[in-house]
Structures are given as structure tokens and as C-alpha cells.
Structure 1
Amino acid sequence: MQFDSWQAVIEMGGYGFYVWLSFGVSFLAIGVLAVQGLRARTKLERAFKQEQHRQQRLARRHREVS
């Protein structure tokens, strides 16, 4: 599909509002998913490090007691 001007691209034959709205909603959804993924990864990494430190402390205490 070819357009004669940028205005025609924006209008999309009268369906521009729906087309650009769907693009906006899609990009927003992808952005939200990306942010959620990054937050979940950070939370998991933090929990993993805390568990590692906890196990190291327990191992040290166990060696001290033995």
C-alpha cells in the first residue's frame, strides 16, 4: 500500500485512529512486559544472593560448632 503524503499515512484511509491506537497499545504492553521482566529478574537475583549468604553463614557456624 502506497501513500501520497504523510497525512495519508497518518489517516490510513479513515482507519488511522484505530491503527495508531493499536500500535500504541501494543508498544505499551511490550514496554510493561519488559519492565516487569527486569524487575522480576532483579528480585530473583537479590533473593539468590541472600540465600547464598545465608547458607555461607550457616556453614561457618556449623564449622565453628564442630
Structure 2
Amino acid sequence: MYFESLDALLNMAGHGPYVWSCYGLFVALLGINIWHARSQNLKALKQAKALVRRNQ
């Protein structure tokens, strides 16, 4: 195993806070991106359904 202990994995020779904050920011931004895409998709579907209802 690369790290000798869990503490060594989290600390990463003093670079741990930077590394883990970057991972956290990446996961947060990925989640926001997925949430935004889904909400835009639902909004577009609602608009398309309303348009179809108006044209019938």
C-alpha cells in the first residue's frame, strides 16, 4: 500500500488540506453541474409540454 496509515493518507506529507479541498471542490462543482443540467432539462420539458398543449 502506498500510505502507511490513514493519517498519512489524509495528511499527504503536509499537502493534505490542499489536495482534499481540491477533491471536495471538484465533487461539489460536479454535483452542481448535474443538478443544474437536470433542472434545465425539466424546465425545457415543461415548456415543450405547454407548447404542445397550446397548439392542440
Deviation readout 1:14-63 (Å, 9 max, x if unpaired) = 1000000000000000000000001000000000000000000xxxxxxx
Q: TM-score, normalised by structure 2?
A: 0.96
Mark the runs of 5 or more structure 1 residues left unpaired by the alignment: 57-66
2:41 paired with 1:41: yes
Q: CA deviation at 1:13?
A: 1.0
Runs of 4+ residues over 2 Å off in structure 1: none
Q: Which has the higher contact order (CA 8 A, sep 6+)?
A: 2
- Where 1:3 maps in the other structure, the secondary structure is coil
Q: TM-score, normalised by structure 1?
A: 0.82
Identical pairs, percent: 29
- Cα root mean square deviation, aligned: 1.0
Equivalenced residues, count: 56
